[in-house]
Amino acid sequence: MRKYWPAFVLVALGFTAVTAFAQQPVQSGAATAAVEAAVGTSIAERQLAGAGESFPAGTERLYCYTRIVNAADSEIEHAWFKGDAEVGRVTLKIGGSPWRTWSSKALGADGAGDWRCDVLMDGAVLQSIKFKVE
């Protein structure tokens, strides 16, 4: 029994270290949030409709739809870009997990070009959705 005692102590210490590590609180914020996002032509029954990567000229408004998990009681931003120029930014409150939210952007008469909508939390880009208006 004496020859197994050092091994038992090492196993017990290892278990204690693993247990202590497993009980550390999970950090909230951009590092743990999981995001699904897409751009489309409308919202119907709290779901995105007309999702795509390319939209015809004359499209008046597009929607950025985001489903986010592990971000309850926080905020995200949708930053809309045409080319490299930011043309809009919307702050959206996240009330639970999972949570669905969206913003929209009126494209105007000169809407043709390369666009993107970045989903940000605490200044970090969680997802960037690129699309084109032809």
Measuring CA to CA, how many Å separate 102 from each of 45, 56, 92, 117, 125?
Answer: 12, 21, 8, 11, 16
pLDDT digits (tens, 9 = 90+) for 28-52: 456 689 999 999 999 999 999 999 9
Task: Tell me the average pLDDT of the chain.
Answer: 85
More confident residue, 24 or 104: 104
Q: Which fold has domain 27-133?
A: Immunoglobulin-like (2.60.40)
Q: How confident is the model at residue 27 (pLDDT cuts 50, 70, 90)?
A: very low
State phi, psi for 41 to the nearest 5 degrees.
Answer: -90, -15
Task: Report the distance separating Cα 111 and Cα 17, nearest Å.
Answer: 57
Tokens describing residue 108: 């105007």
Q: Which of 115, 93, 114, 95 is nearest to 103 (CA)?
A: 93
